[in-house]
Amino acid sequence: MTLTTVWSTITKILDICILWYIVYFALKNLKNNIKMVLIFKGIVFIVMIKIISNLLNLYAVGLLLEYVIMWGPLAVIIIFQPEIRTVLEQLGRSQLLGRHKVLSGDEREKVVTEIMEAVEYLRKNKYGALIAIERDVSLQEYISPATKIYADISSQILESLFYPNSALHDGGVIIQGTKVTCAGCVFRTSMDNQLSKSLGTRHRAALGLAEESDAIVLIVSEETGRISIAINSQMNYNLTPEEFKKTLYNELSPKTEIFYAADERGEDDE
């Protein structure tokens, strides 16, 4: 095998890997971004009409669609500039190998225990709370303008930050690893029209963050004391404390550990 052949093989593998990542990233953002889904549906609809017009020889429709296809990309860039910018920002914030600190078993237990103690206190007293746990997608744009804390996570700190008389209780808190990084964060709210109108600003802000990042966003309702988790563009609303703790623990677990546990359960069933 010559050096030229080896180099050619390496470039082909690299080419496939880059293409795979581009497709993966595009599909991931399509799934997590409602507006991008609408854009994709619109493009598919136009393509289908174009195919039908060609099959039926619809000259006027075909001519119109040719102009739409010719100038459509430019129109999409202009009209959907905010959504495209969001996707590009996600690409800039994301890293191929991930950036968040992978918690050890003891650290994960501590984080979940401290959060659960705080959530129980806040829930019983109906103190509203909004807590985001950073994972692979950086939340630096929200951290920069917020009030820095940089303290080890504890239920006392979380409880005091969301106490009604606290100056920071209306904003969100961001946790990185085992640290409470900042408080008083203002997240962009979700524009999902299907979201229940009974949900307040905290829930909409939580879902908005879950739509544009992979963060785990925890919510305690100030009106009802109900607890929820927003993740992967989905709102898991009105969870029991047991469901809340299980979801939080599973999402903080490394994926390989989850797969391993699932394999073990499958073997036990056999």
Question: Mind listing the pLDDT tens digit for each residue in 112-130?
Answer: 999 999 999 999 999 999 9
For residues 58 and 172, membership in a common domain is answered with no
Distance separating alpha carbons of residues 228 and 207, to the nearest angstrom: 11
For residues 112 and 238, membership in a common domain is answered with yes
Domain end (from 40, 73, 93): 93
Lowest mean pLDDT among 77-81, 154-158, 247-251: 77-81
For residues 176 and 224, membership in a common domain is answered with yes
pLDDT above 90: residue 220: yes
Tokens in use for 33?
């971004």
pLDDT above 50: residue 260: no
Is residue 208 within 8 Å of 190, Cβ to Cβ?
yes
Q: What is the mean pLDDT of the chain?
A: 82
Question: Mind listing the pLDDT tens digit for each residue in 163-195?
Answer: 998 888 889 999 999 999 999 999 999 877 777
For residues 236 and 114, membership in a common domain is answered with yes
For residues 116 and 243, membership in a common domain is answered with yes
Domain end (from 93, 116, 137): 93
Domain end (from 93, 114, 130): 93
Is residue 264 one of the residues assigned to a domain?
no
Is residue 66 one of the residues assigned to a domain?
yes
Is residue 268 one of the residues assigned to a domain?
no
For residues 64 and 127, membership in a common domain is answered with no
Q: Per-residue confidence at 45, pLDDT binned at 50, 70, 90?
A: confident
Average pLDDT rounded to a whole number, residues 67-71: 80
Distance separating alpha carbons of residues 24 and 120, to the nearest angstrom: 38
For residues 131 and 63, membership in a common domain is answered with no
Distance separating alpha carbons of residues 64 and 177, to the nearest angstrom: 54
Lowest mean pLDDT among 139-143, 190-194, 211-215, 263-267: 263-267
For residues 51 and 174, membership in a common domain is answered with no
CATH code for position 244: 3.40.1700.10
For residues 118 and 246, membership in a common domain is answered with yes
Is residue 157 one of the residues assigned to a domain?
yes
pLDDT above 80: residue 205: yes
What domain range includes position 69? 3-93
For residues 87 and 111, membership in a common domain is answered with no
DSSP3 helix / strand / coil % (the chain, rounded to 5) = 60, 15, 25
Higher pLDDT pick, 24 / 139: 139
pLDDT at 96 (0 to 100): 42
Is residue 19 one of the residues assigned to a domain?
yes
pLDDT at 98 (0 to 100): 42
Is residue 217 one of the residues assigned to a domain?
yes
pLDDT at 67 (0 to 100): 81
Distance separating alpha carbons of residues 173 and 184, to the nearest angstrom: 6
pLDDT at 97 (0 to 100): 40
Higher pLDDT pick, 216 / 84: 216
Is residue 266 one of the residues assigned to a domain?
no
Domain count, the chain: 2
Is residue 267 one of the residues assigned to a domain?
no
Amino acid, single-letter form, for residue 96 = L
Coil, helix or strand for 153? coil
Q: What per-residue string of b and e applies to 10-34 under the rule 16 or more CB within 10 Å gives b?
A: eeeeeeeeeeeeeeeeeeebeebbb
Question: Mind listing the pLDDT tens digit for each residue in 127-177?
Answer: 999 999 999 888 888 998 999 999 999 999 999 999 998 888 889 999 999
Helix (H) or strand (E) holding 237: strand 234-239
For residues 197 and 220, membership in a common domain is answered with yes
For residues 184 and 238, membership in a common domain is answered with yes
DSSP string, 85-135: HHHHHHHHH--TT--SPPPPHHHHHHHHHHHHHHHHHHHHHT--EEEEE--
Q: Per-residue confidence at 256, pLDDT binned at 50, 70, 90?
A: low
